[in-house]
């Protein structure tokens, strides 16, 4: 362990503030594209939506490739080196995107941004784990949850406002000065507090990880638009699944794995990881299906839809630090059960959204649902990480971040597919009952609207059942003992096992 770490008497709040600032900017940037995509495509004369979608897909793929490698990076390099390099890449990518003369430069800028941003979450999480004793991690990780959840949730609302009233380049121009400030502060004020050691990079594992997780992410993301029967979707998911299996087998055989999967030997971490995967899929279902209902069924604009989702993001932002403190006091089980029960009930209420549901009711249910989710994500994850010895922290956070990305892409693909399939079935059934020679355009629009509504209602029902699975799993959670004696015993056992 480094001398700096041994001398650490209290959390380096100023340095953590710089990290939070940089992470908030990069996470906010992640979710700006989807709403702005049609405007950007029109301005840059991009006719194919599949081509334009690479601004989001390319970003996601680079992140999915680099996050599994983050465990090696966090082990080998200091937190100062990683943060400065990450912010430098992110700043360069933002500048390139802001002044891009064409689509190719814009796409390159986005992918450079992703290369910088992808390490930010694991780096911040590991710094938090090092900076705070285990019995106080809940409150600290609650603040981390504020950054990780609220920043992406604010993105669509902010993006919708900017593209409606200003030029889309402002999305990058407004982020650029904040990225520069964060970089300059890091250069002059950052210190090293994380232990490092020599580690070798297994290039074959990197290739397997890239093809595996990259293939799954691309396949699942494409499935939501191209359908599960598309040859590219089938091929990329199949190749991705095979490579992930080969990658997993290889990690267990290596002395210094790229991603140390022995973290799953710790039962509370394994259970937390499983619940987080299910919960992430449920979270993304709400973030996809609710705007689909508001915009496609109710005919509300993208900007107003974003504004309707904003109170939910604010609720999560307020609650994240509070639930962190509650976790330190009461543990994860009570919060998890209560939070998932709220999420389950409110998701079920969403199955009754119809053509006349009031705007205030939609916002209220969505806010309460986000309240429930905020009580689960960070407390469950923190309890799992508390069971890991310090040596495995980088691997635990890398596994969590990787699976969250894959679960989000998978959840989005599945729920969009369920929605589309049910909607098409309903629309076809209704048209079969009407004489096609007498049907009017108004009737066609009404049938399509009702079909989409039925598809969304059914998808919310499946999301309810998915959340119920996570709720059942939460009953098996036990609070990890973080007393000094228990932690010392765990670290000693891990040191002996590592020799």
Least confident of 3-12, 65-74, 288-297, 446-455: 3-12
Same-domain status, 470 and 341:
yes
pLDDT value for 461: 92
Q: Choose between 110 and 391: higher pLDDT.
A: 110
Mean pLDDT, range 297-310, rounded to an integer: 80
pLDDT band at 347 (very low <50, low <70, confident <90, very high): very high
Give yes or no for residue 74 having a pLDDT over 50.
yes
Mean pLDDT, range 384-407, rounded to an integer: 84
Same-domain status, 186 and 219:
no
Which of 462, 32, 412 has the alpha carbon at shortest distance from 218? 412
Least confident of 195-209, 247-261, 444-458: 195-209
Instruction: Indicate whether 455 belongs to any domain.
Output: yes
Number of structural domains in the chain: 3
Give yes or no for residue 476 having a pLDDT over 60.
yes
pLDDT value for 9: 58
Take residue 381 and report the two structure tokens written for it.
């994850």
Task: Pick from 86-90, 153-157, 327-331, 429-433 the range whose average pLDDT is largest.
Answer: 86-90
Q: How far apart are CA 308 and CA 305, in angstroms?
A: 5
pLDDT band at 65 (very low <50, low <70, confident <90, very high): confident
Same-domain status, 148 and 88:
yes
pLDDT value for 50: 66
Mean pLDDT, range 263-284, rounded to an integer: 85
Domain region containing 246: 203-257
Give yes or no for residue 6 having a pLDDT over 50.
no
Positive or negative: CA dihedral 436, 437, 438, 439: positive
Same-domain status, 382 and 461:
yes
pLDDT value for 112: 93
Give yes or no for residue 7 having a pLDDT over 50.
no
Q: How far apart are CA 106 and CA 96, in angstroms?
A: 7
pLDDT band at 499 (very low <50, low <70, confident <90, very high): low
pLDDT band at 90 (very low <50, low <70, confident <90, very high): very high
Instruction: Indicate whether 160 belongs to any domain.
Output: yes
Same-domain status, 352 and 480:
yes
pLDDT value for 320: 82
Contact 261, 252 (CB under 8 A): yes
| Beta strands, E only, 23-107 | none
Which of 255, 256, 220 has the alpha carbon at shortest distance from 416? 220
Mean pLDDT, range 258-286, rounded to an integer: 84
pLDDT value for 96: 94
Contact 157, 28 (CB under 8 A): no
Give yes or no for residue 262 having a pLDDT over 80.
yes
Give yes or no for residue 24 having a pLDDT over 70.
yes
pLDDT value for 428: 83
Same-domain status, 188 and 211:
no
pLDDT band at 2 (very low <50, low <70, confident <90, very high): very low
Instruction: Indicate whether 198 belongs to any domain.
Output: no
Same-domain status, 186 and 272:
no
Q: How far apart are CA 239 and CA 305, in angstroms?
A: 37
Same-domain status, 181 and 216:
no
pLDDT value for 363: 92
Give yes or no for residue 240 having a pLDDT over 80.
yes
pLDDT band at 246 (very low <50, low <70, confident <90, very high): very high
Residue keyed to tokens 């098409």: 424
Give yes or no for residue 495 having a pLDDT over 60.
yes
Percent of the chain clearing pLDDT 70 (strictly above)? 95
Contact 385, 393 (CB under 8 A): yes
Same-domain status, 179 and 210:
no
First CA to last CA distance, the chain: 16
Which of 54, 100, 128, 67 has the alpha carbon at shortest distance from 407? 67
Tens of pLDDT, residues 138-172: 777 777 777 777 777 777 778 878 887 888 888 89
Instruction: Indicate whether 473 belongs to any domain.
Output: yes
Mean pLDDT, range 417-437, rounded to an integer: 80
Same-domain status, 312 and 338:
yes
Instruction: Indicate whether 2 belongs to any domain.
Output: no
Alpha-carbon torsion angle 329, 333, 339, 342, nearest 10? -130
- Interhelix angle 332-350/377-386, rounded to 10 degrees, is 150
pLDDT band at 49 (very low <50, low <70, confident <90, very high): low
Same-domain status, 128 and 216:
no
pLDDT band at 338 (very low <50, low <70, confident <90, very high): very high
Give yes or no for residue 212 having a pLDDT over 80.
yes
Positive or negative: CA dihedral 130, 133, 134, 138: negative
Give yes or no for residue 213 having a pLDDT over 70.
yes
Same-domain status, 444 and 311:
yes
Mean pLDDT, range 99-110, rounded to an integer: 90
Q: From the centroid of its chain, how far is CA 280?
A: 7
Contact 470, 373 (CB under 8 A): no
Mean pLDDT score across all residues of the chain: 83
Kindly list the distances between the CA atom of residue 3 and the CA atoms of 195, 264, 384, in Å, as whole numbers in the listed order. 9, 30, 28
Provide the CATH number for the domain around residue 389.
Answer: 1.20.1250.20
Instruction: Indicate whether 3 belongs to any domain.
Output: no
Mean pLDDT, range 370-376, rounded to an integer: 86
pLDDT value for 361: 93
């Amino acid at each position: 362990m480094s001398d700096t770490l041994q001398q650490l008497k209290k959390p380096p709040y100023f340095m953590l503030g710089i990290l939070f600032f940089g992470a908030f900017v990069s996470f906010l940037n992640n979710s700006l594209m989807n709403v702005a995509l049609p405007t950007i495509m029109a301005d840059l004369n991009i006719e194919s939506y599949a081509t334009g979608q690479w601004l989001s897909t390319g970003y996601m793929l680079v992140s999915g490739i680099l996050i599994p490698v983050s465990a090696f990076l966090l082990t080998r390099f200091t937190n100062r080196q990683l943060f400065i390099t990450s912010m430098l890449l992110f700043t360069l990518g933002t500048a390139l995107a802001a002044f891009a003369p064409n689509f190719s430069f814009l796409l390159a800028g986005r992918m450079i941004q992703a290369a910088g941003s992808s390490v930010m979450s694991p780096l911040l999480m590991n710094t938090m784990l090092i900076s705070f004793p285990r019995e106080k991690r809940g409150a600290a990780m609650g603040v981390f949850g504020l950054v990780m959840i609220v920043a992406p949730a604010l993105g669509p609302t902010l993006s919708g406002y900017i593209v409606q009233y200003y030029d889309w380049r402002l999305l990058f121009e407004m982020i650029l000065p904040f990225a520069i400030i964060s970089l300059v502060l890091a250069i002059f004020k950052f210190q090293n507090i994380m232990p490092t050691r020599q580690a070798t990079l297994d290039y074959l594992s990197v290739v397997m990880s890239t093809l595996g997780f990259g293939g799954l992410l691309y396949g699942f993301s494409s499935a939501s638009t191209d359908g599960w029967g598309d040859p590219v979707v089938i091929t990329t998911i199949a190749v991705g699944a095979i490579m992930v299996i080969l990658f997993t087998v290889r990690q267990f055989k290596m002395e210094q794995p790229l991603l140390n999967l022995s973290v799953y030997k710790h039962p509370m971490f394994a259970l937390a990881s499983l619940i987080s995967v299910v919960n992430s899929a449920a979270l993304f279902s709400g973030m996809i299906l609710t705007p689909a209902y508001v915009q496609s069924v109710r005919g509300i604009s993208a900007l107003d839809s974003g504004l309707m989702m904003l109170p939910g993001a604010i609720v999560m932002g307020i609650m994240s630090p509070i639930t962190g403190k509650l976790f330190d006091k009461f543990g994860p089980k009570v919060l998890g059960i209560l939070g998932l029960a709220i999420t389950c009930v409110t998701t079920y209420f969403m199955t009754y959204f119809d053509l006349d549901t009031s705007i205030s009711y939609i916002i209220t249910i969505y806010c309460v649902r986000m309240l429930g989710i905020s009580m689960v994500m960070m407390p469950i994850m923190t309890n799992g990480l508390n069971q890991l010895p310090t040596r495995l922290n980088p691997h635990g956070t890398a596994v969590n971040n990787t699976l969250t990305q894959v679960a989000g892409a998978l959840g989005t693909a599945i729920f969009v597919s369920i929605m589309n399939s049910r909607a098409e079935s309903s629309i076809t059934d209704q048209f079969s009952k009407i004489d096609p020679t007498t049907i009017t355009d108004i009737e066609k629009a009404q049938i399509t609207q009702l079909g989409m509504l039925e598809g969304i209602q059914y998808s919310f029902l499946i999301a309810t059942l998915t959340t119920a699975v996570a709720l059942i799993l939460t009953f098996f959670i036990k609070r990890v003992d973080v007393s000094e004696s228990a932690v010392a015993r765990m670290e000693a056992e891990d040191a002996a096992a590592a020799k």
